Structure 1
Amino acid sequence: MLICPKCHEQLKKEEHVWRCAKGHSYDIARRGYVNLVLGSHKASGDDKAMVRSRTRFLSHGYYHILQKRLATMLQKLALETLIDAGCGEGYYTNYFQEVLPATQIYGFDLSKHAIDEACKAHRGVTYGVCNIFHLPIAKHCADGVVSVFAPVDSKENYRVLKTGGYFLKVGPGPKHLYELKQLLYTDVYENEIETGYSGFTLLHEEIVEDTITIQDAQDIWALFQMTPYYWRTPKQQAEALKQCKELTTQISFHIALYRKESMK
């Protein structure tokens, strides 16, 4: 399924590299992933600190309810191949491979630090550093694409999916982290839900909700760093949050399952 980002020929895995028929090669890092970002395009994505914070928070199980629900949905689809577009540190991706051992899973993210962290689990996922708006995947070959709190390029997802393939999208539900927002802002509003992508039929949508209590200041700060509020919150409110040692907040996830329509 992997293709060369330079010439779009199929990549084949050798001992220490992925190589195409035209001789372009991409080294496999010590952790096992491949960097498919071309030299003229500088990779970015989450830095080490952000990856470390997200890994800390997720590893403590606060979002396990979502992890488990997604895995159950994917098990019912019986996919042979699955792409996690914007996989981050692999919290969901590695769990998918654990419960779907017969599925060939690919995880892609622009952050080299996140991909390096994902590979530590050694689950057998094929990981690559790339821009998810330009996936190094041949067209019409994947059975499923999953996107969890990541940017979405529906045209790119349409390109890589087989006809009848599935796209599983996760974003914040209306009340996600509502109490955290109340600590940060005066005017708090519910999140808006957007659905619908050209070329896809919406098969199912649901809201998964729970309430969590975080009794660790570092975990609260790690959660804050995972959100867009980290970049938008005035310094005074952010500094006040650092003093918070316990937080009870709602978590709410909007899950939507789509199927790719027949190509015209």
Structure 2
Amino acid sequence: MWVQPWNDTSGVQPSVITHLRCPVCRGPFAAAERALRCPQGHSFDIARQGYVDLTAGRPAHTGDTAEMVAAREALLAAGHFAALTDAVREAVAREEPGPVVEVGAGTAHYLAAALGPGEVGLAIDTSKPALKRAARASERIGAVRADIWQGLPIADQSAAVVLDVFAPRSGAEFARVLRPGGALVVATPAAGHLAELVDALGLIRVDPAKQERLHKSLDPHFVPSNARNIRAPLTLSRADALALVAMGPSAWHTDPGAIKQALETMREPIAAHLDVDLTVWRTR
């Protein structure tokens, strides 16, 4: 369902615009006719679908394809990752109210679930197909195309929470945009995540050094304050299992036809497990 924009001129809620910064000069934005414009005259059009592109250049990666986004939206809407969604919501709810920024937000499923009453969110991604859906996820979410490796177009110390679910991480940028006392909430796949499908279909395995890489990226700027593991059974149809493959990193490295053929040999329902580590971090 299309969400009516908050502002008939810009299509972006003023309380979202105030947290954005020009990617060229770092100046604040004001709403213009279907655009955002900074005092230096840099102007960025707002797409008809409701998101604004603040990459100011070609991003290093264009993000998920339309097919990957559609698969993710269908699987999440069916509630298969509800245990993770609930855990993310609970972690954010324990923090002080304020703007929530999700990096690598995709369809903004987790961000929309995590927003408290009256809170606004910023969904950051490089995928245009994902942002089209993120812009419709909630009328309190602003969808922004930006590449974390080029720097987030967000004001210093403006976010109460930064959310990162299976997404790239930049400790320096996360620390910069978080308010004092704010929290970084990170979800990463644990060793057993979807292991049944990984074994049966030859999918990409979770990197054994994932926790080591997580700490290497965040330790210079953050200290961990809380951690929990979310493990839940999944009961999948063949279509669900195909969507799981299609929405993740294995989609770039597998043959969809071969995966579909392999799934045809598996009896329904197909059993698998969600296995995710959820960590909360504080700035040093």
Instruction: Please give the TM-score of this superposition, normalised by the length of structure 2.
Output: 0.83
Q: Is the 8 A contact 1:3 1:138 kept in 2?
A: yes
Structure 1 segments unaligned to the other structure (5+ residues): none
CA contact (8 A) 2:203 2:254 kept: no
Question: Which of residues 65, 71, 88 is equivalent to 1:47?
Answer: 65
What's the CA shift string for 1:75-114, capped at 9, x where partnerless?
11123121101100111112223xx122221110000110
Classify 1:179/1:191 alpha carbon distance in 2 versus 1 (closer, same or farther; 3 Å): farther
> Are the aligned partners of 1:176 and 1:191 in contact in 2 as well (CA < 8 Å)?
no
Q: Which of 223, 226, 240 is the aligned partner of 2:244?
A: 223
Partner of 2:269: 246
Paired amino acid for 1:176: H
- Whole-Å separation in 2 of the counterparts to 1:137 and 1:189: 31
Provide the residue aligned with 2:37 in structure 1. Answer: 19
Aligned position for 1:69: 87
- Output the amino acid matched with 2:117: P
2:110 equivalent to 1:92? yes
- The percent identity for this pair of structures is 27
Native 8 Å contact 2:125 2:144 kept in 1: yes
Of 140-149 and 243-252, the range deviating more from structure 2: 243-252
Q: 1:111 aligns with which of 111, 114, 127?
A: 127
- 1:13 CA drift (Å): 2.5
* Partner Cα distance (1:170, 1:105) in 2: 18
Asked whether the 8 Å contact 2:188–2:276 carries over to 1, the reply is yes
What CA distance in whole angstroms lies between the structure 2 residues aligned with 1:186 and 1:9?
Answer: 44
Cα deviations across residues 7-54 of structure 1 (Å, max 9, x unaligned)?
Answer: 111112335211101111111222321111224558611111111111
Distance 1:41 1:109, change over 3 A: closer
- Deviation readout 1:213-234 (Å, 9 max, x if unpaired): 112x222111011232333447
Q: 1:189 to 1:29 in 2, by over 3 A?
A: closer
RMSD: 2.4
Is the 8 Å Cα contact of residues 11 and 20 (structure 1) preserved in structure 2?
A: yes
Q: CA deviation at 1:176?
A: 0.7
**Which consecutive residues of structure 2, in runs of 5 or more, have no partner in the other structure?**
1-18
Q: TM-score, normalised by structure 1?
A: 0.89
CA distance 1:51–1:175, change in 2 (3 Å): same
